[in-house]
Structure 1
Amino acid sequence: MSSSTPQVPGTYVFDAAESRRGRALNRLCGSLKDAENRERFKADEAAYCDVYGLDAQQRDAVLSRDWTRMMDLGGSIFYVFKLAMVDEKSMQYLGGVFTGMTTEEFAEALRAGGRSFG
């Protein structure tokens, strides 16, 4: 994150610098909204990453489904979630990953009013 970005503990701040840094990653994830692209991705994930010009760290994060690392590398949750959907993962699943909870624990925390995680 750039030094001029306000720091919010426990929160990813997606600003213009992060958008530029994560451009290739977010373009790849965004492309997965189309069924044809999802099929191409599933057929050869590594080759699909190469088409979008991911750097080595982004490529590794996508292939290993390291959701937190994707966010650290400039991923936007709105795009990263499209990749999670390819794997049939819910937003609650990702919320659990980001907070160190199981999907069920995260969903329960939301039902209980949220903001009790961490």
Structure 2
Amino acid sequence: MTKTMPRDVHAYLAEFDDIPGTRVFTANRARKGYHLNQFAMSLMKPENRERFLADERAYLDEWPMTEEAKKAVLARDYNAMIDEGGNIYFLAKLFSTDRQSFQDAAGSMTGMSKDEYAAMMIAGGRSPNGVRSKKEGN
């Protein structure tokens, strides 16, 4: 009887990075983005939203986030926030603070306008055809 080696979990999870246009929220991303996500959750309280909107940088500096995460928040670059470990469900507190819909934010993340994004989703979403791997596509 031969023993099989357990599959390297890190190698397995790294395979998700090969999916074009997709950022999978892994345990590593969760750890990396802990403070970013805690900041976003703080925006559930009206007094915190007011403080944040009054001086965004000062409010962000109260959180032990990376400078890259802070810059992503200030730029409202949701893809960069996700790369920094942001969870879209927590980040929803930020675009809600800005009085934007999920559709607005998702459109900005895909490089589409709100209306283009809505039309794509109404038509059934992105096609499953095309480049399925970064290694195969470019």
Aligned length: 117
Distance across 2 between alignment mates of 1:113 and 1:29:
30
- Residue 10 of structure 1: aligned partner: 21
Give the alignment partner of residue 34 of structure 2, picking from 23, 29, 47.
Answer: 23
Distance across 2 between alignment mates of 1:29 and 1:4:
29
Change (3 A) 1:78 1:25: same
Distance across 1 between alignment mates of 2:20 and 2:11:
14
Are the aligned partners of 1:109 and 1:116 in contact in 2 as well (CA < 8 Å)? no
Would you say 1:37 and 2:48 are equivalent positions?
yes
Larger-gyration structure (1/2): 2
Deviation at 1:69, TM superposition (A): 0.8
Would you say 1:75 and 2:86 are equivalent positions?
yes
Tell me the TM-score normalized by structure 2. Answer: 0.77
Distance across 2 between alignment mates of 1:16 and 1:101:
29
Deviation at 1:86, TM superposition (A): 1.0
Distance across 2 between alignment mates of 1:50 and 1:11:
29
Would you say 1:112 and 2:123 are equivalent positions?
yes
Distance across 1 between alignment mates of 2:101 and 2:23:
19
Identity of aligned residues (%): 44
Change (3 A) 1:88 1:3: farther
Distance across 2 between alignment mates of 1:48 and 1:96:
27
Distance across 1 between alignment mates of 2:127 and 2:118:
11
Distance across 2 between alignment mates of 1:81 and 1:4:
29
> Given residue 88 of structure 2, which amino acid in structure 1 is its aligned partner?
I
Q: Which runs of 5+ in 1 are unaligned?
A: none
Distance across 1 between alignment mates of 2:103 and 2:78:
13
> Given residue 101 of structure 1, which amino acid in structure 2 is its aligned partner?
M
> Given residue 54 of structure 1, which amino acid in structure 2 is its aligned partner?
M
Change (3 A) 1:85 1:4: same
Tell me the TM-score normalized by structure 1. Answer: 0.89
